[in-house]
Amino acid sequence: MERNYHSLYDNKIFMGGAADVEEMEKNEMIDVVIDLRGEATGCAYHQSQAEWIQIPLGDNSTESHHCGGGKGRTGTVAAGTLLALGLVSDLEDAEARAKSIRPVIDIKPVQKEALAKIFTT
């Protein structure tokens, strides 16, 4: 069975879209869901037993109603996580590593600017 979500780090941190939450919880036994969708009113998997934490991020998406597909916002947080964990040397490495793990990642220019502000030394 093909998984639509990916392990960002050591099978402990996973990334995917809203539609992947149920599969991640069942297959990986995740216990926390960080939901980046500002438009969400609850966990995408309604029977979830995981702790649901909403950290709403705008994505300036041209797609209808912020698709929740795990591309822009997920990519931004994935790149930031890789930087924060010291697993990459710079923003370009972080984006490339995140995309190598989850090819659909599409970090928007405004999201790259935000990362640069946070991780510039």
Q: Are 52 and 35 in contact (CB under 8 A)?
A: yes
pLDDT at 61: 55
Fold of 6-119: Protein-Tyrosine Phosphatase; Chain A (3.90.190)
The whole model's pTM is what?
0.88
Domain boundaries, the chain: 6-119
Owner of token pair 């710079």: 90
Which residues of the chain are modeled with pLDDT < 50?
Answer: 64-65
pLDDT at 67: 64
Which of 28, 41, 57 is CA-nearest to residue 118? 57
pLDDT at 2: 76
50-82 per-position pLDDT tens digit: 999 999 987 665 554 466 788 999 999 999 999
How far apart CA 121 and CA 112 sit, in angstroms, is 15
